[in-house]
Structure 1
């Protein structure tokens, strides 16, 4: 499978999420990992006082995280050591860290639990909306990024090996362009700036991958805005203004304004010419 150059691994993405969980929540300890072979492999830990959590593997249905994984819903233990609703397979690890209150949130991608994020404290902690909301937000942001990464990798895996690194078959190039437009539409719904920045790097990799360096290059003195790029990416797939409006949740008149602005910046008289110039400028794949 093709892997974009300089892309982050899933473990690095999880590490960023765990760091955000520790920063945003009121819990002193945060950790988590992705699911593999019906088990969550903890790969990132923040705030621990011991090394007890290192290398932890939580199997489906076992412990708090194992229940969260199979039930696909958050699980809470206010007093982990005495909880009667979970198995105690991991008491040596959890209690070894001194954790009393533990909160486990599954990371759901297309209905499947891809991993679990945990936050805990060494004493009994009241857990209400103020505490849980940041955890849900981080899990949701991680799920969105994993979904995008999955889709990009799926589409890139369909690209057949080329004789030359810069040569792509027409069908493969069209797949990349569809992926780019879909990625732009997903990124537009993400509020977290750091996630948008990382999604932007994936967009740049897709655009660079399909660049065949044909035709004169285009140097923009005024860059396209994010929304102008979104609209142009959809137009590149042959979508009408009405179809673009539905895809991006915009009014048709707003789409027309963005398209006209992009055409003016690219000095193009038609949308097709604007798309061609945007591709030569490296803005679109």
Structure 2
């Protein structure tokens, strides 16, 4: 069974993960995939010497990865060829690559298995904490990225659409502003430059939904963090609340807010939000 082509961001995420596995562990070969339709579709491979792993699709409960998938815990086959606790549906791929020891780590997001990462060696090799810890860390990194993507999609689904030529209904406009602030906070945590750029594009689209309300032509260049702070302030957050949302110190929030107010030539936080909206900087 062959895997369907993954989308580009998904492929990039898995490619970085398996490259990190071979770089940060002593396993010479690594591969992995995300779940689609109840199976793990392997879409990234690093260090392989053959093409046997390409397009592999692992069904739930089948093979080592299928066990890791359903049990939501790592699984190890020290001698894969003779392992008796797993099915051998994928011997052609695993043994064809020459893998002797195989280690499978599930990618868990909110208790749900979203994929599996594999590490393999061509000779039997014990897997102790020193080897396992980096693999767990990489799986956690992928899970965190997927969690961010899920939140982005959830917020996007809540983005209101214009209800009439006059603009957005009050409730819809408030939801838009909350979505904008949330996406700004998420974007600040993203390490993937490509994903961050996509988020920033979405943020600009959100701000453009209320562009008809912009009636002030000002040449103001706020930094990304100044916009983050104003977006939170626009929702009524205190400095302490903004600091908690953005993961910064309260004194740092005060500094960003003061800088934004100076650039906007206003003396209060509320005036800064109002002027930023009139200038089309905030939705």
With the length of structure 2 as denominator, give the TM-score of the two structures: 0.81
Aligned-pair CA distance for 1:58 = 0.9
Alignment of 1:189-204 (within 5 A): 194-195=191-192, 197-204=193-200
SS at match of 1:141: helix
**In structure 1, what is the equivalent of residue 138 of structure 2?**
138
Task: Tell me: CA distance 1:140–1:169, structure 2 relative to 1, closer, same or farther (3 Å).
Answer: farther
Cα distance, 1:50 vs. partner?
Answer: 1.3
Q: Distance in 1 between matches of 2:15 and 2:259?
A: 39
Question: Aligned with 2:61: secondary structure?
Answer: coil
Aligned-residue Cα RMSD (Å) equals 3.1
Q: What is the match of residue 158 of structure 1?
A: 158
- Alpha-carbon distance in 1 for matches of 2:88, 2:217: 63
Q: Could you list the per-position Cα deviations for residues 230-260 of structure 1 after superposition, in whole angstroms to 9, with x for gaps in the alignment?
A: 4323212111223324434555444333322
- Contact in 2 for aligned 1:176/1:206 (Cα 8 Å): no
Report the Cα offset of residue 79 of structure 1.
Answer: 1.7
Structure 1 stretch displaced more, 240-249 or 36-45 = 240-249
Q: Report the CA distance between 1:110 and its aligned residue.
A: 1.5
Do the aligned partners of residues 179 and 98 (structure 1) sit closer, same or farther apart at CA in structure 2, a change above 3 Å counting? farther
**Aligned with 1:115: secondary structure?**
strand
Larger displacement relative to structure 2 (270-279 or 116-125): 270-279
Is contact 2:184–2:203 with CA below 8 Å preserved after alignment? no
Deviation, structure 1 residue 123: 1.6
Residue matched to 1:14? 14
Structure 1 gap segments, 5+ residues each: 1-6
Partner residue of 1:4? Answer: none
- Could you tell me which residue of structure 1 aligns to residue 104 of structure 2? 104
Q: Does 1:114 align with 2:149?
A: no
Q: Paired residues, what number?
A: 272
Which position in structure 1 is the counterpart of 2:124? 124
Distance in 1 of aligned mates of 2:275 and 2:15:
39
The equivalent position to 2:270 in structure 1, one of 258, 272, 279, is 272
| Matched residue, 2:68 | 68
Among 197, 201, 205, the alignment partner of 2:201 is 205
Per-residue deviation, 1:25: 3.0
Kept after mapping to 2: 8 A contact 1:22/1:28: yes
Counterpart-to-counterpart distance in 2, 1:263 and 1:208: 21
Question: Are residues 171 and 126 of structure 1, via their aligned partners in 2, closer, same or farther at CA, if it must alter by over 3 Å?
Answer: farther
Instruction: Quote the residue 2:223 is aligned against.
Output: 224
Shift of 1:62: 1.5
Moved more, 229-238 or 113-122: 229-238
2:261 corresponds to: 263
1:184 is displaced (CA, Å) by 4.1
Q: Unmatched 5+ residue regions in structure 2?
A: 1-6
Structure 2: how far apart are the matches of 1:26 and 1:32? 17
Provide the rounded CA distance (Å) in 2 between the counterparts of 1:209 and 1:94: 46
Q: Which has the larger radius of gyration?
A: 2
Whether contact under 8 Å (2:163, 2:169) holds in the other structure is no
Tell me how far apart the structure 2 counterparts of residues 115 and 268 of structure 1 sit (CA, whole Å).
Answer: 50
